[in-house]
Amino acid sequence: MTIDAPGPWPTLPLAPWRGTRDALHMTSQLVGKTLVALCPPQNHWWHTALRVSSRGLASPTAVEGERTLDLQIDLVDHVLAVCSGGHTASLPLRPRSMRALLDEYQRLLRGAGVEVHLWPMPVEVPNPVPFDHDDAPREYDPEAAHRFWQVLRRCDAALRGLAREYVGKQSPVHFFWGSFDLAATRFSGRRAPERPGADRVTREAYSHEVISFGFWPGGVTQTGIAVDEPVLYAYASPTPPGFQDADVPAPARWDPTLGEFLLPYEAARTDPDPAARIREFCDAVYDAGATLGGWDRDLVERAPPAHGHDGSLHPEPDAAPH
């Protein structure tokens, strides 16, 4: 299988792979819960987030006693891989129940010398069923899972490209297993008002003012809001007055139920320059959020370089080496 073949961005309609999407969501939660149990806490839950890798979704390195642990949901060879103390093992990604997957995963960890208790309740999904009681069969379509990874790596690259002009605090591009989305977040530097009734996850995630961008393959939120297509999203928290009326280029739209701007992935995918379309969307939302929110933009932004973005570091044309 060719991993980095050039060509158009893949299509990813939700309906044909919804079962596989939900199975991958639960698989990613097993990995994420392992990180919660083993990794030292980091602000905004960054210690638990996954990243898009050259093969799928990979964990940061966790520590268990004197051992290190790396986990990867490999969407090329379709395995869940564990590497600990030089020991590498994996289990196949295939149709099975969550109870069966949990049992196999725990045996895999024990075989690698890792003993960890995992809270079995799924999070950020409607009507959760504990993994150790979930005997419903789960789908797994390798082709759809691989296509999802191809979309993730392209969106990951597009979101990474937003970072270069922002010098305030900002996150890496993360994959959050609770909400099953890719996200990049900018911070104003100011604390945010506390959200009444917020749980500890939300309090930590939104302790400071943010503007966040990302990709979500679609699905149903914890509160039952359904989005039946993959989307790029962008929002500000707290939401400044007038934000919903921002001039964001169509076909992006304000979704009042989510409190976010959404750009259909299909619109970005079919654009002559998908990454540029994503950047235009994110820049428009950021501009509105930062302006209406009164961010100190002189402090957190820098002007783009005059000669493009080739990733190189070299002296100015009239500079001589020493």
Domain segments of the chain: what residues?
Answer: 14-133, 142-300
- Strands (E) across the chain are located at 51-52, 56-58, 62-64, 67-74, 79-84, 87-92, 174-176, 181-191, 208-216, 219-220, 226-227, 231-237, 253-255, 260-264
> What are the tokens at 297?
């933009």
Q: Give whole-number Cα distances, 127 to 24, 211, 219, 224, 289, in Å.
A: 17, 29, 14, 9, 33
Task: Report the half-sphere exposure of 21 (CA within 13 A, side-chain side).
Answer: 22
Q: Is 227 left (phi over 0), alpha (psi -120 to 50) or beta?
A: beta
Q: What is the model's pTM? A: 0.91
Digit-by-digit pLDDT tens for the chain (322 residues) are 334 445 789 999 999 999 999 999 999 999 999 999 898 776 777 788 999 999 999 999 988 777 789 999 999 999 999 999 888 999 999 999 999 999 999 999 999 888 899 999 999 999 999 999 999 999 999 999 999 999 999 999 999 999 998 999 999 999 999 999 999 999 999 998 888 877 777 777 778 899 999 999 999 999 999 999 999 999 999 999 999 999 999 999 999 999 999 999 999 999 999 999 999 999 999 999 999 999 999 999 987 665 555 545 444 444 444 3
CA distance 88 to 79: 12
- Residue 84 has phi, psi (to 5 degrees) of -145, 125
Residues 6+ apart with CB under 8 A from 96: 104, 137, 138, 140
Task: Report the half-sphere exposure of 257 (CA within 13 A, side-chain side).
Answer: 8
Q: Tell me, what's the pLDDT at 314?
A: 47
Single-letter amino acid code for the residue at 138: R
CA distance 83 to 145: 22
Query: Distance from first CA to last CA of the chain, Å, rounded?
Result: 48
**Beta bridge partner(s), residue 98:** none
> What are the tokens at 100?
């069966």
Q: Tell me, what's the pLDDT at 303?
A: 77
What one-character DSSP code corresponds to residue 55? Answer: S
Residue 308 neighbours by CB distance under 10 Å: 8
What confidence tens digit (pLDDT) does each residue in 60-77 have?
Answer: 998 877 778 999 999 999
